[in-house]
Amino acid sequence: MYVIKKPFLCLYILCLLLISCGDDDTLQLSPTTDREDVNNALCEDGFAGIYPCQGFDLVSRISLTQMNASKANDSWGWTDLNTNKEYVLIGLDNGTAFIDISDPITPIYLGKLPTATVNSSWRDIKTYQNHAFIVSEAIDHGMQVFDLTKLRNVTNPPQTFTVDAHYTAFGNAHNIVINETSGYAYAVGTETFNGGPHFINIQDPINPIAEGGFISPNGDPYSHDAQIITYHGPDQDYNNREIFIGSNQSEIVIADITEKNNPTIISTISYNNVGYTHQGWFTEDMRFFLLGDELDEQLVGFDTRTIIFDLQDLDNPLFHTNYIGITPATDHNGYVVGNTFYLANYRAGIRALNISDIENKNISEIGFFDTYPLNNNVGFEGAWSVYPYFQSNHIVVSDISSGFILITPN
């Protein structure tokens, strides 16, 4: 078992990025060299323009150059319930971009909220009650709060936006998680609480209040990412409780954090061939948890692996099965919608998995859109994240070197 501890992970990944930049990718023959680099392209004969695909069409793109940035990272979405317009939030090295996709073929880059301090390759965004909450690994960045209703009145895009609140009870954070049911945000990977979740009451979004945090008494306390839910799953012992499932570098940590002044550990579970326990997501019935390990493909050498746990009994989590993908590409962020698991798979783009029969360990790939056509090797280029929750069924892909890409199932 080989585990890279924070803060050495970031240095390790930067080293791998430098190594991968030395790959002679430009000399490799690509089947896309005779294809057009276009927008609004149907997936035909395995390609949408230059992009290999199956089951997804290309709708539109906005490049990093258009957004005056060097790299993209996280992405999220917001639907204005007053207008039903859909907006995309794209994390960039130098800030957060806002994109109006109400006309998805001709999206409008509305502008950018600049980083709070310095540039960083890591930025994360979530939303609650018409506000965006943004954290970064940038030193002393804290949490930016931005009123998304400002996007309704942009008349001369792109413009430079300003924050509506700035929370500074921590400096840098790797990620932020929000439970929209409870009205709490959780910054993870900060310098507080040994990297465990930092509790923030955001029920009044522009007046965030610190309410403590959680240090796991068992195993590794540092949470790289997490999902936090008001639980309505099969384990009736925890019905209506606020449950934390942390991806804590070498294991999953499950805790009851309903009482902010008395969070309690429920259980922990690890697995074989740990590289770096990165990020995971519940099935909608809260029975199974699909986990991605960001470094296992690099360190062990198998194809993309998704580790699946049976959490029917939160006190006794069980390993269920591994799903092994069809490429060796590194996996990153994954989210569940109904019976589909959407996985940002770095150089292999985004992959869509059918999990309707996950209980019987039957999982299959039903589509993909490859935003990095050059190859599907292990590495840290390509699709960083995917946002599949718009009612329009448009799916957002944030690609590290290509920026914003919008696709739709065909």
In-domain check, residue 351:
yes
**Cα–Cα distance for residue pair 355/283, rounded to 1 Å:** 9
The pLDDT of residue 207 is 98
Q: Over the stretch 197-209, which tens digit does the pLDDT of each residue have?
A: 999 999 999 999 9
pLDDT band at 259 (very low <50, low <70, confident <90, very high): very high
Q: What is the mean pLDDT of the chain?
A: 93
In-domain check, residue 344:
yes
The pLDDT of residue 154 is 97
Q: Over the stretch 336-348, which tens digit does the pLDDT of each residue have?
A: 999 999 999 999 9
13 has pLDDT over 80: no
24 has pLDDT over 70: no
Three-class DSSP category at 35: coil
The pLDDT of residue 1 is 36
In-domain check, residue 355:
yes
Q: Are strands 318-324 and 334-337 parallel, antiparallel or unpaired?
A: unpaired
65 has pLDDT over 50: yes
Q: What are phi and psi of 402, to 5 degrees?
A: -105, -15
Q: Over the stretch 306-317, which tens digit does the pLDDT of each residue have?
A: 999 999 999 999
10 has pLDDT over 90: no
Q: How many domains does the chain have?
A: 1
pLDDT band at 21 (very low <50, low <70, confident <90, very high): very low
14 has pLDDT over 50: no
Per the structure, the complete domain to which residue 170 belongs is given by 8-13+55-409
Q: Are strands 198-201 and 209-213 parallel, antiparallel or unpaired?
A: antiparallel
pLDDT band at 241 (very low <50, low <70, confident <90, very high): very high
In-domain check, residue 25:
no
Cβ neighbours for 381, distance < 8 A, ≥ 6 positions apart = 20, 346, 347, 372, 400, 401
**Cα–Cα distance for residue pair 232/254, rounded to 1 Å:** 15
329 has pLDDT over 50: yes
The pLDDT of residue 20 is 43
The pLDDT of residue 270 is 97
* Inter-residue contact 135 to 187 (CB < 8 Å): yes
The pLDDT of residue 37 is 82
**CATH at residue 349:** 2.130.10.10
In-domain check, residue 32:
no
In-domain check, residue 36:
no
In this prediction, what percent of the chain has a pLDDT beyond 70? Answer: 92
The CA-to-CA distance between both ends of the chain, in Å, stands at 42
The pLDDT of residue 38 is 82
Segment 7-19 shows an average pLDDT of: 47
In-domain check, residue 292:
yes
In-domain check, residue 34:
no
The pLDDT of residue 152 is 97
Determine which of 34-43, 68-77, 210-219 has the lowest per-residue pLDDT on average. 34-43
Segment 134-163 shows an average pLDDT of: 98
Number of DSSP helices (H) and strands (E) in the chain, helices first: 2, 31
pLDDT band at 22 (very low <50, low <70, confident <90, very high): very low
Q: Over the stretch 352-385, which tens digit does the pLDDT of each residue have?
A: 999 999 999 999 999 999 999 999 999 999 999 9
The pLDDT of residue 4 is 43
pLDDT band at 147 (very low <50, low <70, confident <90, very high): very high
* Inter-residue contact 78 to 127 (CB < 8 Å): yes
19 has pLDDT over 90: no
2 has pLDDT over 80: no
